[in-house]
Structure 1
Amino acid sequence: MNRTISASLLSLALLTGTASFAAMPASADKAAAAMNVDKASFVKVVTSSNAFEIESSKLAEQKAKDADVKEFAAAMIKDHTMAAEELKKAAKVGDETPVLSPKHAAMLETLKGASDQDFQPLYIEMQTAAHMEAVTLFATYAKGGDDAAVKAFATKTLPKLEMHKMHVTKLVAAH
């Protein structure tokens, strides 16, 4: 009896188009953004994130032991410095000194206090988390951002961040 009712309800849902899976988009690329992020919040987070990437990578150039990690750090400094400049232009913000969020400031202090032995694995771990967050944030803003110029910046920068994420994933596997 219950199977008959369940089958009938499923058939009715399919016929009327109310089944939730019937309305699913063909791919994630066509789906709407999971949430909307306003320009001010996006700029604040990205400014802090870029500053963290640059400062933590300067430390890594000095304290990391392996050449591949030092090369990654140099690329982070170059790419995130360029991204910071491009964001300033897109968002039409001045040259104020970037302010680290409490989270990024704490992460940077942790790196500064890390022993020589602990520094490199900690740096790689933090870079992994930072790039996972950045890819999500940029993808979200690229889909649902409220400022056309900043949205274009997010769209243009996203592939580079995805490349960083792949690169740091290789570092995780190698170390």
Structure 2
Amino acid sequence: MKKTFTAASLALVLLAAPLSPTFAAMPASSDTAAAAFNVDKASFVKQVTSSNQFEIESSKLAAEKARDADVKEFARQMIADHTKAGEGLKTAAKLDDAAPALSPKHAAMIETLKGASEQDFQPLYIEMQTVAHMEAVTLFATYAKGGDDAAVKAFAAETLPKLEMHKAHVMKLVAAH
């Protein structure tokens, strides 16, 4: 009985107490929040071209080496969508036709995939895709909100929903495998 009274008393005190500003303020939605950090056009383009090329190259390996049909299908979709995204970036950023260069990080990841055993390849690919799409969604959302080039900013905003779909799809693969 005493515990019930104490809990009820505590509930009344909490309800009667004015809310502190810390609790009263609700965070802004991500649609209206300012970008977490600013990324300039050159940095964005460099990161995106490497990441995009990683997506394509790793997915070509997965289309051949993955064990399960759903992972192979995901890989084929990544090749198609990221090839299209690469063309969109090239147009928006007015890039030449030079082959995109992989960053040392992405090049090492490709080499790791190439050297992975048959048993280890698929889980490693899924893990790398998960991380890559989390990073891509953050980068594109940031540039779409605070980018310094209108055409590239529009490209980022237009591409973001597709990347969010990829992220959701890869999370389903994580759950399934």
**What TM-score results when the alignment is normalised by the length of structure 2?**
0.86
SS in 2 for 1:122: helix
Please give the alpha-carbon distance, in whole angstroms, between the structure 2 residues aligned to 1:20 and 1:141.
Answer: 29
- For residue 29 of structure 1, report the CA deviation from its aligned partner: 1.5
Is 1:102 equivalent to 2:129 in the alignment?
A: no
The CA deviation string for residues 91-132 of structure 1, in whole angstroms up to 9 with x for no partner, is: 001011111001000000000000001000000000000000
Among 69, 74, 77, the alignment partner of 1:75 is 77
Name the counterpart of 2:160.
Answer: 158
- For residue 20 of structure 1, report the CA deviation from its aligned partner: 6.7
Please give the alpha-carbon distance, in whole angstroms, between the structure 1 residues aligned to 2:130 and 2:150.
Answer: 29
In the alignment, residue 58 of structure 2 is paired with which amino acid?
S
In the alignment, residue 148 of structure 2 is paired with which amino acid?
D
Cα-Cα RMSD: 1.5
In the alignment, residue 169 of structure 1 is paired with which amino acid?
M
Among 31, 35, 58, the alignment partner of 1:33 is 35
Query: 5+ unaligned residues in a row in structure 2: which ranges?
Result: 1-17
Please give the alpha-carbon distance, in whole angstroms, between the structure 1 residues aligned to 2:26 and 2:172.
Answer: 33
- For residue 27 of structure 1, report the CA deviation from its aligned partner: 1.7
Please give the alpha-carbon distance, in whole angstroms, between the structure 2 residues aligned to 1:21 and 1:47.
Answer: 42
Among 120, 126, 129, the alignment partner of 1:127 is 129
- For residue 28 of structure 1, report the CA deviation from its aligned partner: 2.2
In the alignment, residue 115 of structure 1 is paired with which amino acid?
S
Name the counterpart of 2:6.
Answer: none
Please give the alpha-carbon distance, in whole angstroms, between the structure 2 residues aligned to 1:162 and 1:135.
Answer: 6
**Fraction of identical pairs, as percent:** 81
Name the counterpart of 1:62.
Answer: 64
Q: Closer, same or farther in 2 for the Cα pair 1:173/1:81, shift >3 Å?
A: same
The CA deviation string for residues 49-94 of structure 1, in whole angstroms up to 9 with x for no partner, is: 0100000000001100100000000000000000000000000010
Query: 5+ unaligned residues in a row in structure 1: which ranges?
Result: 1-10
Please give the alpha-carbon distance, in whole angstroms, between the structure 2 residues aligned to 1:22 and 1:31.
Answer: 18
Name the counterpart of 2:12.
Answer: none
Name the counterpart of 2:119.
Answer: 117
Name the counterpart of 2:5.
Answer: none
